[in-house]
Structure 1
Amino acid sequence: MVRTMRRLVAVLTGGLAAAVLSLGPAETATAAPKTPPAGVQITGEGLAEPLRLRAEAQPAHVVAIIDQVNFLGRTGQAKGPKAADLGPKYTVVVYAGDVPKQTYDLYPKAVGGPRVFRPAKQPDARKTAAGWFLGRLSMSETLRTAGVPLERQFDTVSGGVGGGERVIPEDALNPAKDIDEALGELQRLLLLNVAVVLVITSGLAGIALLVRRRTR
Structure 2
Amino acid sequence: MVRKVRRLLTVVAGAAVALACSLALTGTTAALAAPKPKLAPPGVDITGDRLDQPLQLRGDTRPAEVNMVIDQVKWLGTAGQLRGPAAKDLGPKYTVVVLVAGTAKNTYDLFPLAKGGPRVYRPAKQPDLSHPRAGWFLGRLNMSETLRAVGVPLAPQFDTLPGGIGGGERVLPEDALDPKGNLDTALAELQRLLLLNIGVVLVITVGLAGISLLVRRRTR
Report the TM-score when normalising by structure 2.
0.67
Larger mean CA deviation between 187-196 and 65-74 belongs to 65-74
Q: Check the 8 A contact 1:86/1:111 in 2, yes or no.
A: yes
Name 2:163's counterpart in structure 1: 161
Name 1:7's counterpart in structure 2: none
For 2:61 and 2:179, how far apart are their aligned partners in 1?
A: 49
Name the SS of the counterpart of 1:156 in structure 2. Answer: coil
Residue 197 of structure 1, aligned match among 194, 197, 201: 201
Q: CA RMSD in A?
A: 3.8
Name the SS of the counterpart of 1:212 in structure 2. Answer: helix
Q: Check the 8 A contact 1:74/1:129 in 2, yes or no.
A: no
The one-letter code matched in structure 1 to 2:69 is I
For 2:181 and 2:160, how far apart are their aligned partners in 1?
A: 29
Q: Percent identity?
A: 57
What whole-Å deviation, never above 9, does each CA across 1:93-149 have from its counterpart, x for those lacking one?
112113333221011333344322223444441544512313333x3343344344x
Q: Does residue 134 of the first structure (1) align with residue 136 of the second (2)?
A: no
Q: Write the mapping of 1:178-197 to structure 2, written as runs, cut at 5 A.
A: 178-197=182-201
What whole-Å deviation, never above 9, does each CA across 1:135-168 have from its counterpart, x for those lacking one?
333x3343344344x24x2332898324999697
Q: Check the 8 A contact 1:76/1:132 in 2, yes or no.
A: yes
User: 1:57 Cα shift?
Assistant: 2.8
Larger mean CA deviation between 153-162 and 186-195 belongs to 153-162
For 1:100 and 1:173, how far apart are their aligned partners in 2?
A: 45
The one-letter code matched in structure 2 to 1:206 is G
Report the TM-score when normalising by structure 1.
0.68
User: 1:178 Cα shift?
Assistant: 1.8
Name 2:102's counterpart in structure 1: 98
User: Any gaps of 5 or more consecutive residues in structure 1?
Assistant: 1-13
What whole-Å deviation, never above 9, does each CA across 1:46-105 have from its counterpart, x for those lacking one?
445543322123222211211222243455444322211212211111121133332210
The one-letter code matched in structure 2 to 1:118 is R
Q: Number of paired residues?
A: 191
The one-letter code matched in structure 2 to 1:212 is R
Larger Rg: 2
User: 1:189 Cα shift?
Assistant: 0.7
Q: Does residue 81 of the first structure (1) align with residue 79 of the second (2)?
A: no
Q: Write the mapping of 1:1-216 to structure 2, written as runs, cut at 5 A.
A: 37-124=41-128, 125=130, 127-128=132-133, 130-137=135-142, 139-148=143-152, 150-151=153-154, 153-156=155-158, 160-162=162-164, 172-216=176-220
The one-letter code matched in structure 1 to 2:108 is Y
User: Any gaps of 5 or more consecutive residues in structure 2?
Assistant: 1-16
For 1:159 and 1:34, how far apart are their aligned partners in 2?
A: 39
Larger mean CA deviation between 199-208 and 170-179 belongs to 170-179
For 1:82 and 1:208, how far apart are their aligned partners in 2?
A: 70
